[in-house]
């Protein structure tokens, strides 16, 4: 967490990323026809690679490549179709940029093939609880593992923080049993995944309570439905609302921000980090 100092996130292919001192940006690269914000814009290898490289030019630290939409009501995609979408893009990017590459999947075999193609990080929206073998893939390949909380397909506890702790501790147990290194794991509270607007807002307000889990946090509020509920904006018009959540969550300790608009969020987080460092110089021991 930002409040706990520096963390070297160990990922595949001998790479690592320093977390905590500065906010890090994960760019969304959806190679899908039906994602809620940008579905169909980057659903070919060429358009996806170009978009990803544009995000690198805007100083994205990580490129998150996904081949299956996770929006509510999205149609299922087979493992073969998911792999046909993401693997060529990952292989191209591994040759064309030094940015870290993440594969957004809950499937163990897709994760294994993605790391073989050049991915450094596995980003699982089911927190290794849909296909627990994905944790063994991370352990065996040395990939960084992002374990996300979700409320889908289960009964949640009434208190959102208690539910976060209950779910993510189970995910951490799966990862530990599989042999994933402690320093390879990042957590994600899963904004928008089976969470109503009030629940998302309470989770932002109480975010610092998640520090007890002892791992850095990635957050993905970008253009989510709850941002639209508050602002009245359509998905493509939610970058300002997203940026507001980025600032609040950075102040509360989040270190990685998964966003659609890299440049917008990079600027607001740079200002937030500058303020935090100024405060730290005056008040040693404060964030970050």
Residues carrying an active site annotation: 224, 258
Give dist(CA 151, CA 159) in Å, integer: 12
Is the separation of the CB atoms in 151 and 163 below 8 Å? yes
From the centroid of its chain, how far is CA 213?
17
Comparing CA positions, the residue from 170, 185, 101, 103 lying closest to residue 132 is 170
Question: What's the CA gap between 190 and 8, in Å, rounded?
Answer: 22
Token couple for 110: 């897709």
Measured CA to CA, the distance from residue 129 to residue 41 in angstroms comes to: 30
Query: In whole angstroms, what separates CA 27 from the centre of its chain?
Result: 9
Residue of 238, 158, 168 whose CA lies nearest to 198: 158
Q: Judge if the upstream peptide bond of residue 288 is cis by omega within 30 degrees of 0.
A: yes
Question: Of 90, 91, 122, 107, whose CA–CA distance to 12 is shortest?
Answer: 122
């Amino acid at each position: 967490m930002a409040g706990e100092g520096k963390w070297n996130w160990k990922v595949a292919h001998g790479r690592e990323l320093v977390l905590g001192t500065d906010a890090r940006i994960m760019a969304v690269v959806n190679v899908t026809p039906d994602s809620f914000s940008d579905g169909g814009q980057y659903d070919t290898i060429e358009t996806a690679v170009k978009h990803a490289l544009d995000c690198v030019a805007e100083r994205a630290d990580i490129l998150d490549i996904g081949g299956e939409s996770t929006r509510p009501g999205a149609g299922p995609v087979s493992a073969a179709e998911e792999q046909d979408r993401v693997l060529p893009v990952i292989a191209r990017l591994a040759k064309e940029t030094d940015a870290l590459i993440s594969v957004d999947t809950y499937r163990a075999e897709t994760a294994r093939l993605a790391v073989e193609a050049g991915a450094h990080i596995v980003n699982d929206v089911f927190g290794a609880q849909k296909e627990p073998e994905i944790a063994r893939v991370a352990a065996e390949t040395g990939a960084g593992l992002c374990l996300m909380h979700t409320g889908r397909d289960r009964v949640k506890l009434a208190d959102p923080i208690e539910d976060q702790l209950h779910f993510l501790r189970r995910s951490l147990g799966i990862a530990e049993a599989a042999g994933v290194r402690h320093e390879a794991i990042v957590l994600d509270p899963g904004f928008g995944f089976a969470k109503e607007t009030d629940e998302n807002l309470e989770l932002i307000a109480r975010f610092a309570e998640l520090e007890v889990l002892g791992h850095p946090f990635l957050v993905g509020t970008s253009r989510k439905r709850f941002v639209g509920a508050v602002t009245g904006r359509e998905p493509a018009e939610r970058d300002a609302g997203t940026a507001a959540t980025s600032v609040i969550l950075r102040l509360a300790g989040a270190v990685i921000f998964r966003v659609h608009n890299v440049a917008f969020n990079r600027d607001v987080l740079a200002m937030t980090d500058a303020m935090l460092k100024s405060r730290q110089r005056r008040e040693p021991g404060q964030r970050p």
